[in-house]
Structure 1
Amino acid sequence: MTTYLISDLHLCEEATDSTALFFRFMHEKASKAQALYVLGDLFEAWVGDDDDDAFNAKVMATFRAFADHGGKLAFVHGNRDFLLGEGFADSCGGRLLADETVVELAGQRTLLLHGDQLCSDDMDYQHFREMVRSPAWRQAFLAKPLAERKAIAADLRRKSHDSQQNKAEYITDVNPQTLELHMARHDVWHCIHGHTHRPAVHGFTLRGKAAERIVLGDWHHSAKIVKCDVEMELVTLV
Protein backbone atom coordinates (compact mmCIF):
# COMPACT_ATOMS: atom_id res chain seq x y z
CA MET A 1 0.00 0.00 0.00
CA THR A 2 1.08 3.55 -0.71
CA THR A 3 2.16 6.12 1.85
CA TYR A 4 2.46 9.82 0.98
CA LEU A 5 4.53 12.48 2.70
CA ILE A 6 3.82 16.16 2.08
CA SER A 7 4.78 19.51 3.60
CA ASP A 8 4.77 23.26 3.11
CA LEU A 9 1.31 23.63 1.62
CA HIS A 10 0.86 27.01 3.37
CA LEU A 11 -2.89 26.73 2.93
CA CYS A 12 -5.06 29.80 3.29
CA GLU A 13 -8.20 30.96 1.57
CA GLU A 14 -6.27 33.44 -0.59
CA ALA A 15 -3.86 30.77 -1.92
CA THR A 16 -6.26 29.39 -4.51
CA ASP A 17 -3.69 27.40 -6.49
CA SER A 18 -2.27 25.42 -3.56
CA THR A 19 -5.74 24.97 -2.08
CA ALA A 20 -7.13 23.51 -5.30
CA LEU A 21 -4.09 21.26 -5.62
CA PHE A 22 -4.57 20.04 -2.04
CA PHE A 23 -8.22 19.08 -2.47
CA ARG A 24 -7.45 17.38 -5.80
CA PHE A 25 -4.60 15.44 -4.21
CA MET A 26 -6.76 14.30 -1.31
CA HIS A 27 -9.54 13.16 -3.65
CA GLU A 28 -7.49 11.57 -6.43
CA LYS A 29 -4.32 10.30 -4.71
CA ALA A 30 -4.55 10.22 -0.94
CA SER A 31 -7.97 8.56 -0.95
CA LYS A 32 -6.29 5.38 -2.25
CA ALA A 33 -3.36 5.52 0.17
CA GLN A 34 -2.73 3.65 3.39
CA ALA A 35 -1.11 6.55 5.22
CA LEU A 36 -0.42 10.26 4.93
CA TYR A 37 2.22 12.25 6.82
CA VAL A 38 2.04 16.06 6.83
CA LEU A 39 5.49 17.35 7.80
CA GLY A 40 4.65 20.88 8.83
CA ASP A 41 3.42 24.19 7.43
CA LEU A 42 0.10 22.75 6.37
CA PHE A 43 -1.34 26.22 6.95
CA GLU A 44 0.12 29.63 6.22
CA ALA A 45 -0.57 30.33 9.88
CA TRP A 46 -2.33 28.58 12.75
CA VAL A 47 -3.19 30.64 15.80
CA GLY A 48 -5.02 28.05 17.89
CA ASP A 49 -7.42 25.13 17.68
CA ASP A 50 -10.29 27.43 18.62
CA ASP A 51 -10.15 29.12 15.21
CA ASP A 52 -13.40 27.87 13.68
CA ASP A 53 -12.88 29.62 10.34
CA ALA A 54 -14.93 27.95 7.57
CA PHE A 55 -11.85 27.39 5.40
CA ASN A 56 -10.01 25.59 8.21
CA ALA A 57 -13.11 23.48 8.87
CA LYS A 58 -13.21 22.39 5.21
CA VAL A 59 -9.57 21.29 5.32
CA MET A 60 -10.16 19.38 8.55
CA ALA A 61 -13.27 17.69 7.15
CA THR A 62 -11.25 16.52 4.15
CA PHE A 63 -8.67 14.92 6.42
CA ARG A 64 -11.45 13.40 8.52
CA ALA A 65 -12.95 11.74 5.44
CA PHE A 66 -9.53 10.23 4.67
CA ALA A 67 -9.19 8.90 8.23
CA ASP A 68 -12.77 7.60 8.36
CA HIS A 69 -12.05 5.48 5.29
CA GLY A 70 -9.16 3.80 7.08
CA GLY A 71 -6.23 6.03 6.21
CA LYS A 72 -3.57 6.60 8.87
CA LEU A 73 -2.94 10.32 9.30
CA ALA A 74 -0.14 12.08 11.17
CA PHE A 75 1.06 15.66 11.52
CA VAL A 76 4.39 17.24 12.42
CA HIS A 77 4.57 20.86 13.55
CA GLY A 78 6.09 23.37 11.14
CA ASN A 79 7.35 26.88 11.78
CA ARG A 80 4.01 28.35 10.63
CA ASP A 81 1.68 25.93 12.43
CA PHE A 82 3.55 24.99 15.59
CA LEU A 83 0.37 25.79 17.55
CA LEU A 84 -1.57 22.90 16.05
CA GLY A 85 -2.89 20.97 19.02
CA GLU A 86 -4.45 17.68 19.94
CA GLY A 87 -7.88 19.18 19.30
CA PHE A 88 -6.98 19.77 15.67
CA ALA A 89 -5.52 16.28 15.26
CA ASP A 90 -8.53 14.63 16.91
CA SER A 91 -10.95 16.54 14.67
CA CYS A 92 -9.04 15.33 11.61
CA GLY A 93 -8.90 11.74 12.85
CA GLY A 94 -5.12 11.85 13.03
CA ARG A 95 -2.36 12.26 15.57
CA LEU A 96 0.42 14.71 16.31
CA LEU A 97 3.94 13.34 16.15
CA ALA A 98 6.98 14.57 18.01
CA ASP A 99 9.06 17.20 16.21
CA GLU A 100 11.48 14.39 15.31
CA THR A 101 9.96 10.97 14.73
CA VAL A 102 11.42 7.77 13.31
CA VAL A 103 9.14 5.52 11.25
CA GLU A 104 9.74 2.59 8.94
CA LEU A 105 9.22 3.40 5.26
CA ALA A 106 10.02 0.96 2.45
CA GLY A 107 11.87 -1.18 4.98
CA GLN A 108 14.09 1.70 6.14
CA ARG A 109 14.09 3.46 9.50
CA THR A 110 13.51 7.05 8.46
CA LEU A 111 13.67 10.30 10.42
CA LEU A 112 10.73 12.62 9.76
CA LEU A 113 10.81 16.29 10.75
CA HIS A 114 9.80 19.67 9.39
CA GLY A 115 13.42 20.68 8.98
CA ASP A 116 13.63 24.17 10.47
CA GLN A 117 15.71 22.88 13.39
CA LEU A 118 18.35 21.79 10.86
CA CYS A 119 18.92 25.36 9.61
CA SER A 120 21.26 26.08 12.51
CA ASP A 121 23.22 28.82 10.71
CA ASP A 122 20.15 31.05 10.95
CA MET A 123 20.76 32.04 14.55
CA ASP A 124 18.08 34.75 14.63
CA TYR A 125 15.45 32.25 13.60
CA GLN A 126 16.69 29.58 16.03
CA HIS A 127 16.38 32.05 18.92
CA PHE A 128 12.88 32.94 17.76
CA ARG A 129 11.99 29.24 17.46
CA GLU A 130 13.16 28.55 20.98
CA MET A 131 11.08 31.44 22.31
CA VAL A 132 7.77 30.59 20.61
CA ARG A 133 8.07 26.87 21.37
CA SER A 134 8.33 27.54 25.10
CA PRO A 135 5.27 26.63 27.22
CA ALA A 136 5.18 30.13 28.73
CA TRP A 137 5.04 31.89 25.36
CA ARG A 138 2.47 29.44 24.05
CA GLN A 139 0.23 29.88 27.09
CA ALA A 140 0.44 33.67 26.96
CA PHE A 141 -0.26 33.79 23.22
CA LEU A 142 -3.22 31.43 23.31
CA ALA A 143 -4.75 33.47 26.14
CA LYS A 144 -5.10 36.46 23.80
CA PRO A 145 -8.35 37.05 21.85
CA LEU A 146 -8.49 35.27 18.49
CA ALA A 147 -8.52 38.52 16.47
CA GLU A 148 -5.39 39.74 18.26
CA ARG A 149 -3.62 36.44 17.63
CA LYS A 150 -4.40 36.67 13.92
CA ALA A 151 -3.03 40.22 13.77
CA ILE A 152 0.17 39.17 15.55
CA ALA A 153 0.60 36.20 13.18
CA ALA A 154 0.19 38.44 10.13
CA ASP A 155 2.79 40.86 11.48
CA LEU A 156 5.23 38.01 12.18
CA ARG A 157 4.80 36.70 8.63
CA ARG A 158 5.60 40.12 7.18
CA LYS A 159 8.71 40.44 9.34
CA SER A 160 9.81 36.92 8.44
CA HIS A 161 9.43 37.61 4.73
CA ASP A 162 11.44 40.83 5.00
CA SER A 163 14.24 39.20 7.00
CA GLN A 164 14.59 36.32 4.55
CA GLN A 165 15.33 38.72 1.70
CA ASN A 166 18.57 39.82 3.32
CA LYS A 167 19.97 36.41 4.26
CA ALA A 168 22.51 34.44 2.27
CA GLU A 169 21.17 31.22 0.79
CA TYR A 170 23.34 28.96 2.94
CA ILE A 171 21.97 30.55 6.13
CA THR A 172 18.40 29.47 5.32
CA ASP A 173 19.40 25.97 4.22
CA VAL A 174 20.24 22.86 6.20
CA ASN A 175 23.59 22.78 7.97
CA PRO A 176 25.22 19.43 7.01
CA GLN A 177 26.84 18.92 10.40
CA THR A 178 23.58 19.57 12.21
CA LEU A 179 21.80 17.11 9.93
CA GLU A 180 24.40 14.42 10.63
CA LEU A 181 24.12 14.98 14.39
CA HIS A 182 20.32 14.57 14.26
CA MET A 183 20.52 11.45 12.13
CA ALA A 184 23.21 9.93 14.34
CA ARG A 185 21.15 10.69 17.43
CA HIS A 186 18.25 8.71 15.97
CA ASP A 187 20.49 6.01 14.46
CA VAL A 188 19.11 6.40 10.94
CA TRP A 189 20.50 6.70 7.42
CA HIS A 190 17.34 8.10 5.82
CA CYS A 191 15.69 11.45 6.48
CA ILE A 192 12.69 13.29 4.98
CA HIS A 193 11.89 16.93 5.69
CA GLY A 194 10.49 20.12 4.19
CA HIS A 195 10.82 23.77 5.25
CA THR A 196 13.57 24.96 2.87
CA HIS A 197 11.40 24.85 -0.28
CA ARG A 198 14.37 23.30 -2.11
CA PRO A 199 13.11 19.86 -3.13
CA ALA A 200 15.81 17.33 -3.96
CA VAL A 201 17.21 13.92 -3.15
CA HIS A 202 20.64 14.15 -1.51
CA GLY A 203 22.91 11.13 -1.25
CA PHE A 204 25.91 11.26 1.09
CA THR A 205 28.04 9.12 3.37
CA LEU A 206 27.21 8.98 7.06
CA ARG A 207 29.28 6.97 9.53
CA GLY A 208 30.77 5.00 6.66
CA LYS A 209 27.43 4.04 5.09
CA ALA A 210 25.34 5.40 2.24
CA ALA A 211 22.70 7.83 3.52
CA GLU A 212 19.87 9.75 1.90
CA ARG A 213 18.01 12.99 2.61
CA ILE A 214 14.81 13.78 0.72
CA VAL A 215 13.58 17.37 0.77
CA LEU A 216 9.91 17.99 0.07
CA GLY A 217 8.74 21.01 -1.91
CA ASP A 218 6.28 23.80 -1.27
CA TRP A 219 2.92 23.91 -3.07
CA HIS A 220 1.77 26.35 -5.71
CA HIS A 221 1.02 25.25 -9.26
CA SER A 222 2.80 21.99 -8.44
CA ALA A 223 4.47 20.26 -5.50
CA LYS A 224 7.22 17.77 -4.79
CA ILE A 225 6.02 15.01 -2.46
CA VAL A 226 7.23 11.57 -1.47
CA LYS A 227 5.38 8.50 -2.64
CA CYS A 228 6.42 5.40 -0.76
CA ASP A 229 5.54 1.77 -1.50
CA VAL A 230 8.42 -0.58 -2.34
CA GLU A 231 10.77 2.42 -2.35
CA MET A 232 10.79 6.11 -1.43
CA GLU A 233 10.41 8.35 -4.45
CA LEU A 234 10.21 12.13 -4.83
CA VAL A 235 7.43 12.80 -7.33
CA THR A 236 5.82 15.89 -8.83
CA LEU A 237 2.19 16.59 -8.06
CA VAL A 238 0.31 18.83 -10.50
Structure 2
Amino acid sequence: MRTLFIADLHLSEAHPKITTAFFSFLEKESGDVDALYILGDLFEVWIGDDEHTQLMDEVAKRLSAYAKINQINIYYIHGNRDFMIGKKYAKEAALQLLNEHSEIDLYGENVLIMHGDTLCLADKNYQKMRVIIHNPLLQSIFNLMPLSIRKKIGWKIRSASQSKKVYKNKEVMGVTESEVLRLMDKHRAHTLIHGHTHQAAKHLFKILNKPALRFDVGDWFNNVSFVEAQTDQIELIIRPISYYTN
Protein backbone atom coordinates (compact mmCIF):
# COMPACT_ATOMS: atom_id res chain seq x y z
CA MET A 1 0.00 0.00 0.00
CA ARG A 2 1.08 3.60 -0.56
CA THR A 3 0.14 7.19 0.16
CA LEU A 4 0.30 9.82 -2.60
CA PHE A 5 1.04 13.56 -2.45
CA ILE A 6 0.40 15.99 -5.33
CA ALA A 7 0.37 19.79 -5.68
CA ASP A 8 0.37 22.68 -8.12
CA LEU A 9 -1.68 21.30 -10.99
CA HIS A 10 -3.23 24.75 -11.54
CA LEU A 11 -6.18 23.24 -13.38
CA SER A 12 -7.92 25.59 -15.79
CA GLU A 13 -9.77 25.51 -19.08
CA ALA A 14 -6.63 26.97 -20.70
CA HIS A 15 -4.61 23.80 -20.03
CA PRO A 16 -6.80 20.80 -20.93
CA LYS A 17 -3.77 18.47 -21.17
CA ILE A 18 -3.13 18.83 -17.44
CA THR A 19 -6.78 18.07 -16.67
CA THR A 20 -6.60 14.97 -18.88
CA ALA A 21 -3.42 13.88 -17.11
CA PHE A 22 -5.03 14.38 -13.70
CA PHE A 23 -8.08 12.30 -14.53
CA SER A 24 -5.83 9.58 -15.99
CA PHE A 25 -3.67 9.75 -12.85
CA LEU A 26 -6.72 9.04 -10.71
CA GLU A 27 -7.51 6.02 -12.88
CA LYS A 28 -3.99 4.58 -13.03
CA GLU A 29 -2.84 5.34 -9.48
CA SER A 30 -5.64 3.40 -7.86
CA GLY A 31 -6.38 0.16 -6.09
CA ASP A 32 -3.48 0.10 -3.62
CA VAL A 33 -3.71 3.61 -2.14
CA ASP A 34 -4.13 4.40 1.56
CA ALA A 35 -4.71 8.15 1.11
CA LEU A 36 -4.28 11.03 -1.32
CA TYR A 37 -2.97 14.40 -0.15
CA ILE A 38 -3.40 17.47 -2.37
CA LEU A 39 -1.04 20.17 -1.13
CA GLY A 40 -2.68 23.20 -2.69
CA ASP A 41 -3.15 24.96 -6.01
CA LEU A 42 -5.21 22.21 -7.57
CA PHE A 43 -6.92 25.05 -9.43
CA GLU A 44 -5.39 28.08 -11.12
CA VAL A 45 -7.85 30.41 -9.45
CA TRP A 46 -10.77 30.00 -7.05
CA ILE A 47 -13.45 32.67 -6.76
CA GLY A 48 -15.81 30.93 -4.37
CA ASP A 49 -17.77 27.75 -3.78
CA ASP A 50 -20.81 29.34 -5.42
CA GLU A 51 -19.11 29.40 -8.82
CA HIS A 52 -19.87 26.35 -10.93
CA THR A 53 -17.93 25.53 -14.08
CA GLN A 54 -17.84 22.26 -15.97
CA LEU A 55 -14.22 21.80 -14.89
CA MET A 56 -14.93 22.37 -11.19
CA ASP A 57 -17.91 20.03 -11.21
CA GLU A 58 -16.06 17.29 -13.11
CA VAL A 59 -13.06 17.48 -10.76
CA ALA A 60 -15.39 17.16 -7.75
CA LYS A 61 -17.09 14.19 -9.38
CA ARG A 62 -13.78 12.43 -10.15
CA LEU A 63 -12.31 13.02 -6.71
CA SER A 64 -15.45 11.86 -4.94
CA ALA A 65 -15.48 8.70 -7.06
CA TYR A 66 -11.77 8.11 -6.37
CA ALA A 67 -12.35 8.31 -2.62
CA LYS A 68 -15.33 5.96 -2.83
CA ILE A 69 -13.74 3.38 -5.13
CA ASN A 70 -10.53 3.20 -3.10
CA GLN A 71 -12.36 3.62 0.22
CA ILE A 72 -9.84 6.26 1.30
CA ASN A 73 -9.70 9.83 2.54
CA ILE A 74 -8.53 12.68 0.33
CA TYR A 75 -6.90 15.50 2.27
CA TYR A 76 -6.50 19.08 1.09
CA ILE A 77 -4.26 21.96 2.14
CA HIS A 78 -5.10 25.30 0.58
CA GLY A 79 -2.66 26.84 -1.89
CA ASN A 80 -2.05 30.46 -2.71
CA ARG A 81 -4.34 30.21 -5.78
CA ASP A 82 -7.27 28.35 -4.27
CA PHE A 83 -7.21 29.33 -0.60
CA MET A 84 -10.90 30.24 -0.83
CA ILE A 85 -12.05 26.65 -1.35
CA GLY A 86 -14.64 26.16 1.35
CA LYS A 87 -16.56 23.43 3.11
CA LYS A 88 -19.26 23.27 0.43
CA TYR A 89 -16.92 22.33 -2.40
CA ALA A 90 -14.84 20.17 -0.07
CA LYS A 91 -17.93 18.11 0.67
CA GLU A 92 -18.78 17.80 -3.04
CA ALA A 93 -15.23 16.65 -3.85
CA ALA A 94 -14.85 14.43 -0.77
CA LEU A 95 -11.99 16.56 0.52
CA GLN A 96 -10.99 16.81 4.15
CA LEU A 97 -9.51 20.26 4.73
CA LEU A 98 -6.32 20.45 6.79
CA ASN A 99 -4.48 23.29 8.50
CA GLU A 100 -1.80 25.11 6.48
CA HIS A 101 0.91 23.33 8.51
CA SER A 102 -0.20 19.80 9.38
CA GLU A 103 1.50 16.87 11.04
CA ILE A 104 0.51 13.41 9.82
CA ASP A 105 1.37 9.90 10.92
CA LEU A 106 2.89 8.42 7.77
CA TYR A 107 3.44 4.72 8.42
CA GLY A 108 4.68 5.40 11.92
CA GLU A 109 6.68 8.55 11.16
CA ASN A 110 5.65 12.08 12.09
CA VAL A 111 5.72 14.03 8.80
CA LEU A 112 5.07 17.73 8.27
CA ILE A 113 3.07 18.72 5.19
CA MET A 114 2.11 22.14 3.79
CA HIS A 115 1.55 24.04 0.58
CA GLY A 116 4.93 25.72 0.96
CA ASP A 117 4.27 29.40 0.32
CA THR A 118 4.99 30.23 3.97
CA LEU A 119 8.53 28.91 3.46
CA CYS A 120 9.43 31.44 0.78
CA LEU A 121 10.37 34.39 2.97
CA ALA A 122 12.60 35.95 0.29
CA ASP A 123 9.46 36.67 -1.74
CA LYS A 124 8.69 39.66 0.46
CA ASN A 125 6.02 41.21 -1.78
CA TYR A 126 4.03 37.99 -1.78
CA GLN A 127 4.36 37.56 1.99
CA LYS A 128 2.95 41.06 2.51
CA MET A 129 0.06 40.31 0.17
CA ARG A 130 -0.55 36.96 1.85
CA VAL A 131 -1.22 38.64 5.20
CA ILE A 132 -3.88 40.81 3.53
CA ILE A 133 -5.68 38.16 1.49
CA HIS A 134 -5.81 35.73 4.40
CA ASN A 135 -7.53 38.26 6.64
CA PRO A 136 -10.86 36.60 7.61
CA LEU A 137 -12.75 39.93 7.57
CA LEU A 138 -11.58 40.78 4.06
CA GLN A 139 -12.44 37.27 2.88
CA SER A 140 -15.96 37.66 4.28
CA ILE A 141 -16.37 40.99 2.48
CA PHE A 142 -15.06 39.44 -0.74
CA ASN A 143 -17.56 36.59 -0.52
CA LEU A 144 -20.43 39.09 -0.20
CA MET A 145 -19.57 40.65 -3.56
CA PRO A 146 -21.45 39.55 -6.70
CA LEU A 147 -19.82 36.61 -8.47
CA SER A 148 -19.14 38.68 -11.60
CA ILE A 149 -17.10 41.23 -9.64
CA ARG A 150 -15.22 38.52 -7.76
CA LYS A 151 -14.27 36.92 -11.09
CA LYS A 152 -12.79 40.17 -12.36
CA ILE A 153 -10.84 40.73 -9.15
CA GLY A 154 -9.61 37.13 -9.02
CA TRP A 155 -8.32 37.04 -12.57
CA LYS A 156 -6.79 40.49 -12.25
CA ILE A 157 -4.81 39.32 -9.22
CA ARG A 158 -3.86 36.15 -11.07
CA SER A 159 -2.63 38.08 -14.12
CA ALA A 160 -0.59 40.46 -11.98
CA SER A 161 0.95 37.53 -10.11
CA GLN A 162 1.87 35.76 -13.35
CA SER A 163 3.56 38.83 -14.81
CA LYS A 164 5.62 39.41 -11.63
CA LYS A 165 6.61 35.74 -11.49
CA VAL A 166 8.51 36.09 -14.76
CA TYR A 167 11.00 38.41 -13.06
CA LYS A 168 11.48 36.30 -9.93
CA ASN A 169 14.56 34.13 -9.84
CA LYS A 170 14.79 30.69 -8.24
CA GLU A 171 16.29 32.15 -5.07
CA VAL A 172 13.21 34.31 -4.50
CA MET A 173 10.83 31.52 -5.48
CA GLY A 174 12.72 28.95 -3.42
CA VAL A 175 12.37 28.17 0.26
CA THR A 176 14.21 29.91 3.08
CA GLU A 177 16.28 27.18 4.70
CA SER A 178 16.15 28.71 8.17
CA GLU A 179 12.34 28.68 8.02
CA VAL A 180 12.37 25.05 6.92
CA LEU A 181 14.53 24.14 9.92
CA ARG A 182 12.44 26.25 12.29
CA LEU A 183 9.14 24.65 11.31
CA MET A 184 10.49 21.11 11.21
CA ASP A 185 11.97 21.58 14.66
CA LYS A 186 8.72 23.10 15.93
CA HIS A 187 6.72 20.13 14.66
CA ARG A 188 9.39 17.58 15.64
CA ALA A 189 9.49 16.25 12.09
CA HIS A 190 12.42 14.95 10.09
CA THR A 191 10.46 14.75 6.84
CA LEU A 192 8.73 17.67 5.13
CA ILE A 193 6.56 17.43 2.01
CA HIS A 194 5.38 20.61 0.26
CA GLY A 195 4.63 22.29 -3.06
CA HIS A 196 4.42 25.91 -4.26
CA THR A 197 7.94 26.48 -5.64
CA HIS A 198 7.42 24.29 -8.75
CA GLN A 199 10.97 22.99 -8.24
CA ALA A 200 10.50 19.22 -7.93
CA ALA A 201 13.33 17.81 -5.85
CA LYS A 202 14.34 15.57 -2.97
CA HIS A 203 16.63 17.33 -0.48
CA LEU A 204 18.73 15.49 2.10
CA PHE A 205 20.15 17.36 5.09
CA LYS A 206 20.46 17.09 8.87
CA ILE A 207 18.56 18.41 11.86
CA LEU A 208 20.50 18.15 15.12
CA ASN A 209 22.84 15.68 13.41
CA LYS A 210 19.94 13.42 12.42
CA PRO A 211 19.07 12.69 8.76
CA ALA A 212 16.19 14.79 7.40
CA LEU A 213 14.29 14.92 4.11
CA ARG A 214 12.45 17.68 2.28
CA PHE A 215 10.34 16.83 -0.76
CA ASP A 216 9.23 19.56 -3.16
CA VAL A 217 6.38 17.91 -5.03
CA GLY A 218 6.70 20.04 -8.20
CA ASP A 219 4.10 21.15 -10.74
CA TRP A 220 2.44 19.40 -13.69
CA PHE A 221 3.18 21.80 -16.55
CA ASN A 222 5.75 19.65 -18.35
CA ASN A 223 5.95 16.52 -16.20
CA VAL A 224 3.73 14.77 -13.72
CA SER A 225 5.47 14.70 -10.35
CA PHE A 226 4.26 13.32 -7.06
CA VAL A 227 5.56 11.90 -3.82
CA GLU A 228 4.83 8.26 -3.09
CA ALA A 229 5.22 6.95 0.45
CA GLN A 230 5.28 3.30 1.42
CA THR A 231 5.94 1.64 4.75
CA ASP A 232 9.70 1.55 4.20
CA GLN A 233 10.45 4.47 1.85
CA ILE A 234 9.35 7.83 0.47
CA GLU A 235 10.24 8.75 -3.10
CA LEU A 236 9.69 11.58 -5.57
CA ILE A 237 8.36 10.25 -8.85
CA ILE A 238 8.61 12.29 -12.07
CA ARG A 239 7.06 11.10 -15.31
CA PRO A 240 6.49 12.82 -18.67
CA ILE A 241 2.96 14.16 -18.89
CA SER A 242 2.45 11.94 -21.96
CA TYR A 243 2.53 8.93 -19.58
CA TYR A 244 -0.94 10.00 -18.40
CA THR A 245 -2.29 11.53 -21.60
CA ASN A 246 -1.58 8.84 -24.23
Deviation at 1:114, TM superposition (A): 0.3
Aligned length: 238
2:19 maps to which residue? Answer: 19
- Tell me the residue number matched to 1:232: 234
The aligned amino acid for 2:203 is H
User: Structure 1, unaligned stretches of length 5 or more?
Assistant: none
Corresponding position: 1:213 with 2:220:
no
CA distance in 1, matches of 2:180, 2:198: 17
Distance in 1, matches of 2:73 and 2:170, equals: 36
After superposition, give the CA deviation of every residue in 1:108-147 in whole Å (9 maximum; x if it has no partner): 2110000000001111100101110110111111111112
Q: Which residue is 1:186 aligned to?
A: 187
| Counterpart for residue 196 of structure 2 | 195
The reply on whether 1:96 has 2:130 as its aligned counterpart is no
Structure 1 counterpart of 2:138, which letter? W
Separation in 1 of the partners of 2:133 and 2:55?
25
Q: Does 1:79 align with 2:80?
A: yes
Q: Which residue of 2 aligns with 1:223?
A: 224
**Structure 2 counterpart SS, 1:103:** strand
Aligned-residue offset at 1:32? 4.0
Distance 1:10 1:167 in 2: 19
Query: Which whole-Å deviations, capped at 9, do the CAs of 1:189-221 have from their partners, x for residues lacking one?
Result: 100000000000001111221111000110124
SS at match of 1:51: coil
Contact residue 21 and residue 221 of structure 1 kept, 8 A:
no
Partner residue, 1:46: 46
Q: CA offset at residue 31 of structure 1?
A: 5.0
Deviation larger for 107-116 or 162-171: 162-171
Matching residue of 1:129: 130
What code does the residue aligned with 1:103 have? I
* Structure 1 ranges of 4+ moved more than 4 A: none
1:147-201 CA-partner distances (Å, limit 9, x unpaired): 2111111111111112122233211110000111111111111000000000000
Does the residue aligned with 2:63 lie in a helix, a strand or coil? Answer: helix
Unmatched tracts of structure 2, length 5 or more: none
| Aligned-partner Cα distance in 2 for 1:26–1:165 | 31
Q: How does 1:159-170 map to 2 (within 5 A)?
A: 159-170=160-171
Report the secondary structure of 1:171's partner residue: helix
Q: How does 1:110-121 map to 2 (within 5 A)?
A: 110-121=111-122
- The 3-state SS of whatever aligns with 1:198 is coil
Write the letter of the residue equivalent to 1:236. I
Give the distance between the partners of 1:15 and 1:211, measured in 2 at CA. Answer: 36
Q: Secondary structure at the match of 1:223?
A: strand
Residues in 2 aligned to 1:163 and 1:37: alpha-carbon distance in whole angstroms: 29
Distance in 1 (alpha carbons) for counterparts of 2:96 and 2:5: 15
- Counterparts of 2:97 and 2:217, CA distance in 1: 19
User: TM-score if structure 1 supplies the norm length?
Assistant: 0.96
Amino acid at match of 1:20: T
Checking the alignment, whether the CA contact within 8 Å between 1:39 and 1:113 is kept in structure 2 is yes
Question: By how many angstroms is 1:20 displaced?
Answer: 0.7
Tell me, what secondary structure is at the counterpart of 1:34? strand
Task: Tell me how large the CA RMSD over aligned residues is.
Answer: 1.2
How far did 1:44 drift?
Answer: 0.4
Give the stretch that moved more between structures: 29-38 or 185-194: 29-38
| Structure 1 counterpart of 2:61 | 61
**Following the alignment from structure 1 to structure 2, what is the Cα–Cα distance between the partners of residues 66 and 167?**
37
